[in-house]
Amino acid sequence: MTSEPAISLRPAAREDVPVVVRLIRALAEYERLSPECFADEAALESHLFGPRPYAEVLIAQVDGEPAGFALFFHNYSTFLTKPGIYLEDLFVVPERRGLGLGRRLLAALASLAVERGCGRLEWSVLKWNAPAIGFYEKLGAVPMEEWQVYRLTGGPLHALAEGALPSAGAA
């Protein structure tokens, strides 16, 4: 007779930073984005536990070993005039999938959102990730079909910050 694994969730602590970075790199590999992953322990530690924390992390454990995480932060809805929670990353190591860790992590974030008076919990998902999309839709999440994500990084971000204007004909 095999016993059920002990599953727990907890907020990350400063000493968890190397574990979180390892999980971030595993997520990047799963998402086929490893070349774009520059996760740095010192930066993450500062951003999670420094004088101005930018994000929070919940860690899912199985039998005391880290098996997944959710990294999130607050955003704000002007239309609702309420804060929200944006889930940046949700990941469960492949060998621990099927135990309900992803559902537990999302349920914990939903509880935090309600507890903190948030109007919504939202996230993005890669269009090719059918297993994740199916999982989210089973929970009642709906895609925001009318919205398109835009991003500025690297050179264009710095150019705009330095006052560079777009070329003629652009908005």
What is the per-residue pLDDT for 94? 95
Question: Which residue of the set 54, 76, 136, 150 is catalytic?
Answer: 136
Whole-angstrom distance, CA of residue 20 vs CA of residue 103: 19
Q: Mind listing the pLDDT tens digit of every residue in the chain (171 residues)?
A: 678 899 999 999 999 999 999 999 999 999 999 999 999 999 999 999 999 999 999 999 999 999 999 999 999 999 999 999 999 999 999 999 999 999 999 999 999 999 999 999 999 999 999 999 999 999 999 999 999 889 898 999 999 999 876 665 555
> Is the CB of residue 64 less than 8 Å from the CB of residue 15?
no
pTM: 0.90
Rounded to whole angstroms, what are the CA distances from 134 to 7, 55, 104, 169? 23, 26, 16, 41
- Identify any residues that bridge with 71 across adjacent strands, giving them in sequence order: 57, 89
- 8-state DSSP, 6: P
What is the per-residue pLDDT for 166? 65
Number of C-alpha atoms within 13 angstroms, CB side, residue 118?
19
Which distant-in-sequence residues (6+ apart) come within 8 Å of 119 by Cβ?
77, 80, 82, 83, 84
Whole-angstrom distance, CA of residue 62 vs CA of residue 41: 23
One-letter amino acid for residue 155 of the chain: G
86 has catalytic annotation: no
One-letter amino acid for residue 61 of the chain: Q
What is the per-residue pLDDT for 3? 82
Relative orientation angle of helices 41-49 and 17-30, to the nearest 10 degrees: 110
CATH class of domain segment(s) 7-145: alpha beta
What is the per-residue pLDDT for 57? 98
**Domain chopping of the chain, boundaries:** 7-145
> Is the CB of residue 18 less than 8 Å from the CB of residue 41?
yes
